[in-house]
Amino acid sequence: MRPEDTRGTGGGGLPVPMAWLYTEYVADELLRTGDLMEPTTLEFRAGRDALALTMFLSGLLGEAPVSGTLSEARADELRVLTAYGATWRSWVCERLTESERRAGPGDPDVALARAAWRWLEETELLAADLDAIVPAPWEPVAGDGHEEGGEVQVWTPAWQLGLPLGHLAVHLC
């Protein structure tokens, strides 16, 4: 987003990604208000980025006041969009492609959204393996070398942890 005032020194300045920064701020506030995770953790970042990406790509910009609360209609829309499922990933990919096409090359908001998506998809976080709960802890578990002290280590893309965290934060707002 370029500054609207082109008089003086502001005309040829760097574009400022205000739309992305605003959605990131609102997502951060929603997660902090929900008090679900320490703000210094990677899980918190995953939740913030997943929620910000959802708001940015859905056009929910400007709908949340600075307090970090959403109208009931917008909160319902976000709950639907962040409901866990395989469709969110494909929805993000489609919307990012459409946003890049509409905004054109070099748009700083879309560039930051793309960087957030890249981080969410490429970063893997250690998750609880709920399927590993089935065998009793005293039974040997046949594994593939990813075990530590009898526990199965499950690494998952950050968005798979961040999306439910963002969803829960919206429920708590």
Helix (H, G, I), strand (E, B) or coil at 55: helix
pLDDT in tens, 66-87: 455 677 888 888 888 888 766 8
Mean pLDDT across the stretch 11-26? Answer: 83
pLDDT in tens, 106-156: 899 999 999 999 999 999 998 765 454 444 444 455 555 455 556 667 889
Q: What is the number of alpha carbons within 13 Å of residue 101 lying toward its C-beta?
A: 6
Q: How far is CA 157 from CA 41, 47, 87, 117, in A?
A: 15, 12, 15, 11
Question: Closest Cα to residue 109, out of 37, 57, 169, 42?
Answer: 57
Nearest partner of 79 among 66, 88, 68, 90, judged by Cα? 88
Residue 170 to residue 173: CA distance in whole angstroms: 5
pTM of the model: 0.76
